[in-house]
Amino acid sequence: MRISVIGAGYVGLVTAAALASKGHNVIVVDTDETRVGMVNQKKSPIFEEGLDDMLSNCIDSNHLRATGDYREILPTDITLICVGTPSNPDGSMNLSYIKESARDIGRVLGAENGHHTVVVRSTVVPGTTKKVITPALEQHSGKKAHMDFDVAVNPEFLQEGKALHGFFNPDRIIIGEEERRAGDMVEKLYEGISAPVIRMGITTAEMIKFTSNAFLATKISFINDIGNICKKLGVDVYDVVKGVGIDYRIGEYFLNAGIGFGGSCLPKDLKALVHASGHLGYQPLVLESVLEVNRNQILTMLQMVEEKLGNLKGKTVCVLGLAFKPNTDDIRNAPALEVIRLLMEKGASVKAYDPLAMPNAKSALSEQVEYCRNAKEAVAGCDCILVLTEWDEFKDESLYHGKMVFDGRRVLDPGEAETFCDYCGICW
Ligand code: UDX
Ligand code: UDX
């Protein structure tokens, strides 16, 4: 198939490279010229395991190319919208990139003679495809949706760090469609991939993505709530999970207690869902609490540090881990960034190290953080260590000998850690 993908971010590039590697002819359209140049030079602008190699192979075999020119989507059969949908300051979803891409796709579709399918792969608040994207495509093309061109929804469930693996081994493929023809086109993209394909209406498909992310976030805040109670009881929440997770109705996954969830999706999608609910006249009490518990984990970490270290003015705090989770360079909504801001507000100096995320953290933080070349350099001479991302290299116990350690990710076994450092787990 001839495929165009709008947006060369995590979702767009992974989708484009994966489809090109299956033998489809793919072009990636991005408004950022630097990104376009990098992709064409076989260099991924973002870090994702295996993506550089896959991009390189697909470009060499002429199956993939990047461009800044929307007109190049004209000869393709199907266009996947993968632009970002970040948060507005009030928590609502910022649809400006989605609207711009719908406008630009619409303008091209105006000149199209064949039949085109537009697929929304970005996460959008349920109702957005019907109420915002389809009307914009119609307005700017002068054509009628579901007659002259088709619209479908195909949410991504890619987890950063294992996104390519996730593309080829999905738990399910969700297709939202108004007419069979559009759903069939989307299903064709995944030919050869073994997974249940579930087809439904467009708004239902959008809601499935939000519900998945809301549930994952709820599991994390739930176990952090339980962990906070356990800590007061002198019970280890990780032992509790071993006994609880074995119940198939509950499951062992996403029950790692700690500093809380971050990333480009869970926090933003949850906030957008709470915001959208308010507009529908419903107050989602569970979801609001999930966000509150997540915020409180950060404040709890700060409180623990202050309780043990006293006034933070003039103290040097080492932060190990900046990315929102290991095996990514992504720092969007990473708990570490907020912890650093609060530490510095209280007068502490911060030394930090992350194997991949330091360049991104440097651009995101205006604070004067001392970025170190490795973990050993970061821990040297500090008053305490905060572990905020569970990178494998932070499991090296020699980093912590004789230090005061606050573990936000359970990188150390508490029983063992107590023998070589002054150890404090966030909720264990
Ligand atoms: C984003 C959202 O975070 C996610 O919820 C959604 O499901 C898919 O999009 P991500 O791929 O990580 O995920 O976003 P980002 O890395 O910001 O990439 C978006 C890309 O789109 C960027 O390369 C940006 O330059 C490009 N873009 C943005 C356009 O090409 N045109 C625009 O108008 C806006
Ligand atoms: C998530 C969803 O998993 C994915 O399906 C969706 O498409 C995009 O959002 P991602 O943001 O890549 O993926 O990260 P994920 O692995 O879900 O982790 C999210 C956050 O939760 C991370 O900050 C992680 O550290 C935290 N987390 C995860 C916990 O605190 N405890 C856990 O048990 C699991």
Report the pLDDT value the prediction gives residue 260, as an integer from 0 to 100. Answer: 98
- Active site (annotated) includes residue 82: no
| Distance between Cα 10 and ligand 2 center (Å) | 14
Confidence of residue 10 (pLDDT cuts 50, 70, 90): very high
pLDDT of res. 47: 87
Q: pLDDT tens digits for 165-181?
A: 999 999 999 999 999 99
* Neighbouring residues of 299: CB distance < 8 A, sequence distance ≥ 6: 342
Ligand 1, atom 17, residue with closest C-alpha: 84
One-letter amino acid identity for 322? L
| 226, containing H or E segment | helix 202-233
C-alpha distance across the termini of the chain, in Å:
52
Does residue 195 surpass a pLDDT of 90? Answer: yes
Question: Per-residue pLDDT for 118 more than 90?
Answer: yes
Select which of 265, 372, 382, 384 is catalytic: 265
Name every residue whose Cβ is closer than 8 Å to that of residue 232 and which is 6 or more positions away in sequence: none
- Give the residue whose CA is nearest to atom 13 of ligand 2: 159
- Minimal CA–CA distance to 397: which of 382, 385, 408? 385
Which residue is closest in CA terms to ligand 2's atom 14?
159
Can you tell me the mean pLDDT for 35-61? Answer: 95
Task: State the average pLDDT for the chain.
Answer: 97
Residue 418 half-sphere exposure toward CB, CA atoms < 13 A: 5
Q: Which atom of ligand 2 is nearest to the CA of 212?
A: 5
Atom of ligand 1 nearest to the CA of 11: 11
Looking at all shown ligands, the one closest to residue 213's CA atom is 2
Q: Whose CA is nearest to atom 2 of ligand 1?
A: 84
DSSP string, 82-144: -----B-TTS-B--HHHHHHHHHHHHHHTT--S-EEEEE-S---TTHIIIIIHHHHHHHHTS-
CA pair distance 233, 11, nearest whole angstrom: 42
Q: What integer is the mean pLDDT of 238-253?
A: 96
Ligand 1: distance of its center to the CA of 80 in Å? 12
Q: What is the mean pLDDT of residues 194-210?
A: 98
Nearest to 4 by CA among 157, 117, 154: 117
Quick one: average pLDDT of 46-61? 94
**Token representation of residue 3:** 């495929």
Q: Atom 16, ligand 1: which residue's CA is nearest?
A: 9
What pLDDT, on a 0 to 100 scale, did the predictor assign at position 113?
A: 83
Pull the structure tokens for residue 287.
Answer: 């979801």
Name the β-bridge partners of 317. 350, 384
Quote the ligand 1 centre to 82 CA distance (angstroms): 6
Q: Is the pLDDT of residue 222 over 90?
A: yes
- Tens of pLDDT, residue by residue over 293-344, are 999 999 999 999 999 999 999 999 999 999 999 999 999 999 999 999 999 9
- Which pLDDT score is estimated for 25? 97
Alpha carbons 35 and 221: distance in angstroms, whole number: 35
Q: List Cα–Cα distances, 224 to 260, 294, 374, 426, in angstroms.
A: 8, 8, 30, 9
Ligand 1 shell residues, CB under 6 Å: 6-12, 30-32, 35, 82-85, 97, 100-101, 122-123, 156, 264-265
Q: What is the mean pLDDT of residues 268-283?
A: 97
How long is the chain?
428
Q: What is the mean pLDDT of residues 106-135?
A: 95
Q: How far is the CA of 187 from the centre of ligand 2 (A)?
A: 26
Per-residue confidence (pLDDT) for residue 267, from 0 to 100: 97
Nearest 5°: phi and psi at 362?
-60, -40
The share of the chain scoring above pLDDT 90, in percent, equals 98
In whole angstroms, give the CA distance from residue 21 to residue 25. 9
pLDDT at 367 over 90: no
Phi, psi of 254 (to 5 degrees): 60, 35
pLDDT above 70 as % of the chain:
100
Q: Which pLDDT does position 51 carry in this prediction?
A: 95
Tell how far the Cα of 109 is from the centroid of ligand 1, in angstroms: 21
Q: Taking residues 48-60, report their average pLDDT.
A: 95
On whether the CB atoms of residues 227 and 428 are closer than 8 A, the answer is yes
**Ligand 1 pocket test target in 82, 119, 140, 158 with most atoms within 8 Å of CB:** 82
Q: Which of 13, 210, 264, 325 to mutate to test the pocket of ligand 1 (most atoms within 8 A of CB)?
A: 264
Residue 282, burial from CB neighbour count under 10 angstroms (0-12, 13-18, 19+): exposed
Distance 158 CA to ligand 2 centre (A): 10
pLDDT at 114 over 90: no
Average pLDDT value for residue range 142-158? 96
The H helix count followed by the E strand count for the chain is 16, 14
pLDDT of residue 112: 83
Report residues whose beta carbon is within 6 angstroms of any ligand 2 atom.
Answer: 156-160, 213, 216, 220, 254-256, 258, 260-266, 324-325
Atom of ligand 2 nearest to the CA of 213: 2
Residue 386 pLDDT > 90? yes
